[in-house]
Amino acid sequence: MDEIRERFETLKRQLKRKFSTNNKSKNKRKNTNRRRPPSGVQKKRPQSRERIEPAREEPRNRPKTKEEQFRKVPPTNKKRKKKKLTKEEFEKRKRKKRKENIVEIVKFMLPVLLFAVFVFFFILNTSPHMVDGDSMKPTLLNGDRVIVRRTKEPKRYEVITFKPPVKSDFQYVKRIIGMPGDLVWTEGSDLFINHQAEALPKVSELSAANELPDGTIKVNVSEDSLAQMSQLKKIPKGHYFVLGDNRNNSSDSRAFGLVDGQAIEGVVSFRFAPFNNIGWIK
């Protein structure tokens, strides 16, 4: 009996061992099947769990920072409605625009005028003069403002300004008729001036107008002028015989005689006022 028991115990142990080895082999096969996936199928690696923080929502009524306050707001496409102006506001704006335009014109014209004044008075050696009286009608009228060139030598038929040999508060404006070297002679109260003849005509021919040399000018002079001119055969050097264009209303060489060249201010060349008569003087 004891032997049978011993055999039974040994068989039992052997069965246990076999059973345990079979279980181990099955577990190994399962592990290998898990580690090695079938071909063509890639098993995804488990990703590390990241902590996902929920986005913090800012409060809607949060106070703005200084940077946000100073940021430029993008222009909106909404058209602003134009405010209707009253008549008073419109007139104020109109006056303001006029003032601005006048200021701009003055700013532009002031340097131009200063430059013109500098050129006329310093470079060209000129001076302004105002015409007094109507003795030079229709060439010059009373109150006309002209520019006189002081460096230019006068020529025949040019208009000059000069200090007259009579008492006067103003300078005279006249036209040159007789030049130095012109022949002169008198008959009664008449004066004859000729710049073409080489010699005086004979006494018998003086009274005949058709016998006078070409280019002879005949004028009626006063006693003072006649006393001066009757002593001359030619106009002396540096002296001029002048007349006004308005012969019926002019005090000129017919009244006071010849004009000394040193008393001449200059030649009238340009009229700058009034504006409707601006232009060169001939």
Amino acid identity of residue 158, one-letter, is E
Q: Under CATH, domain 124-280 is a member of which superfamily?
A: Umud Fragment, subunit A (2.10.109.10)
Domain edges within the chain = 88-123, 124-280
Establish whether 174 is a catalytic residue: yes
Whole-structure pTM over 0.75, yes or no? no
- The answer to whether the peptide bond before residue 37 is cis (omega within 30 degrees of 0) is no
Task: Look up residue 163 and give its two tokens.
Answer: 């200090």
Which of 8-17, 129-138, 209-218 has maximum average pLDDT? Answer: 129-138
Report whether 163 contacts 263 (CB < 8 A).
Answer: yes
Surface-to-core class of residue 266, CB atoms within 10 Å of its CB (0-12 exposed, 13-18 middle, 19+ buried): buried
Amino acid identity of residue 47, one-letter, is Q
Task: Look up residue 46 and give its two tokens.
Answer: 């488990």
> With bands split at pLDDT 50, 70 and 90, how would you rate the model's confidence at 163?
very high
Residue tagged active-site, from 26, 92, 94, 135:
135
Establish whether 207 is a catalytic residue: no
pLDDT at 249: 92
Report whether 174 contacts 250 (CB < 8 A).
Answer: yes
| Mean predicted lDDT score pLDDT of the chain | 79
Using DSSP's 3-state secondary structure scheme, residue 254 falls into helix
Please state, as a whole number, how many other Cβ atoms lie within 10 Å of the Cβ of residue 261. Answer: 15
Amino acid identity of residue 68, one-letter, is E
Residue tagged active-site, from 16, 174, 204, 230:
174
Please state, as a whole number, how many other Cβ atoms lie within 10 Å of the Cβ of residue 225. Answer: 22
Which residue from 212, 145, 153 is spatially nearest to 185, judged by alpha carbons? 212
The kind and range of the H/E element at 97 are: helix 87-118
89-125 confidence digits (pLDDT tens): 878 888 888 888 888 888 888 888 887 776 666 656 7
pLDDT at 66: 56
140-157 confidence digits (pLDDT tens): 999 999 989 886 789 999
Please state, as a whole number, how many other Cβ atoms lie within 10 Å of the Cβ of residue 265. Answer: 17
Task: Look up residue 54 and give its two tokens.
Answer: 């929920």
